[in-house]
Amino acid sequence: MNDTHSEEIIPGASHEGQLIASPHGVSTVEDSGRRKASRQWLTGRASRGLDPKKFDSVSPAGLAWRELKKNRLAMIGLWTLVVLYTIAIFGQFIAPYDSTSQNPGGVQTAFQPPMKLRWSDQGGVFHWRPFVYQTQQTLQGGAFSYLPDATQPRTLQFFVHGSPYKFWGFIPTDLHLFGVENGAVFLLGTDGESRDYFSRLLFGSMISLSVGFIAIGISFTLGLLVGGISGFYGGRTDDIIMRVCEIIMSVPDFYLLLALAAALPADLNPIVSYLLITSILSFIGWAGMARIIRGMVLSVREREYVEAGRALGLSDLQIIVRHILPSTFTYAIVAATMSVPGYILAEAGLSFLGLGIRDPVASWGNMLTQAQNQTTLFNQRWILTPGLAIFITTLAFNFLGDGLRDALDPRSRRLG
């Protein structure tokens, strides 16, 4: 038949007698294989077996999420980051002690090894609630060591009242997830100042993990706006903005960070220091982003939808923000995800060198400063726990960034 027409597939309706196009690359053989049919009639069982869900419209975000779920490493990275940031958000509540408290629980211990959670005592009796043994400090071979004292078991209790704090900075409370009475629990041991290392790790995650997102928010907002304005207007405006970007990019990042961080006073308020370090990291990161966005804007500023916006009388700012910059969001999302680990590592490096977040405020970087001592590095290996946290976070962001790059690229999507 020469006058056949394809009909629209209506989800939920009967499809008997409808004509649909055969799948791409699949053909049926007619007349002993001499002709290939590009269409076939839906009748009887075929029409009743058609799944209408396959014809439902899917948004671009839905398509990207469907592709992302197919990437196992990307999903591992995503859920790892969800766990890490959830722990960071509730770090003050999960931590049994304040990060700056020395000798918590009245126990004076420096570089005490991690306590082991136990379910059965030395007699083999099983306990339904975990407990820890308090320790005794002994001198062996000219060095102090800590041995568990089986006569001092302390049962782990949940939702206990301890050191007061302000949850998220404005909700006063003293409730903690777990703790012990008449003693202390050190799941990751203590540092050289007799401070609970597990609590400091949680408080440090609040600093180190938030630096990346805040810095990305500032630098990518600047990069998108400056790059969009440069590419949209072109001419002298473009030349001036790009020369400024090149000047910023020509300065070595690490040495600029060292110079700016060293200029901060040593007695500066920790919160102010944190905000300034974040601003410094943002300042050196927006120029490269602006150059790439400028190139993308140059390729789309003459397209039909931009001309339609001009014809409708929209202002230049409205055209840039509503119509041009959204076309760059796919790249920006992927680039932002891949850039967060760089900011986390930069803050950790500055804090490790004593130029970033300073003690007693905890960050993963300054917690590693005690690992500079070779004796400490070999004898108190739990001091390297923040390094492991940085490694896991960086790897998770890289896995997620690779997955987002593939999921948001239409050319990499597989059918089915």
CA distance 364 to 384: 10
pLDDT band, residue 11 (cuts 50/70/90): very low
The mean pLDDT of the chain is: 80
**Taking CA 365 as the corner, what is the angle to CA 249 and CA 379, rounded to the nearest 5 degrees?**
140
- In this predicted structure, what is the pLDDT of residue 21? 44
Residue pair 316/232 in contact by the 8 Å Cβ criterion: yes
Question: Residue 65 to residues 78, 85, 287, 402: CA-CA distances in angstroms?
Answer: 12, 20, 30, 14
pLDDT, tens digit, for every residue of 56-104? Answer: 566 777 888 888 888 899 999 999 999 999 999 999 999 999 988 888 8
Over residues 30-49, mean pLDDT: 45
Give bridge partners of residue 276 from the DSSP assignment: none
Residue type, 83: V
Question: Residue 385 to residues 191, 199, 310: CA-CA distances in angstroms?
Answer: 12, 12, 56
Structural domains of the chain sorted by starting position, each given as residue range(s) with its CATH number in brackets: 1-57 (no CATH), 72-89+199-412 (1.10.3720.10), 104-195 (no CATH)
Q: No. of H helices and E strands in the chain?
A: 15, 9
pLDDT at 29 over 50: no
Alpha-helical runs (H) found in 188-252 = 197-233, 235-250
CA distance 245 to 288: 7
CA distance 245 to 285: 10
- In this predicted structure, what is the pLDDT of residue 326? 81
CA distance 188 to 129: 19
Q: b/e string for 171-186 if b means 16 or more Cβ within 10 A?
A: eeeeebebbbeebbbb
Cβ partners under 8 Å of residue 66, min gap 6: 58
CA distance 362 to 204: 5
Element (H, E) at 343: helix 329-352
pLDDT at 415 over 50: no
- In this predicted structure, what is the pLDDT of residue 300? 85
* 3-class secondary structure, 360: coil
* 3-class secondary structure, 27: coil
What are the backbone dihedrals phi and psi of residue 4, each rounded to the nearest 5 degrees, phi first?
Answer: -75, 145
Q: What is the pTM of this model?
A: 0.77
Burial of 358 (C-beta count, 10 Å sphere; 0-12/13-18/19+): middle
CA distance 332 to 99: 36
pLDDT at 397 over 90: yes
What are the backbone dihedrals phi and psi of residue 3, each rounded to the nearest 5 degrees, phi first?
Answer: -110, 30
pLDDT band, residue 376 (cuts 50/70/90): confident
- In this predicted structure, what is the pLDDT of residue 19? 43
Q: Which of 172-181, 363-372, 400-409 has the highest mean pLDDT?
A: 172-181
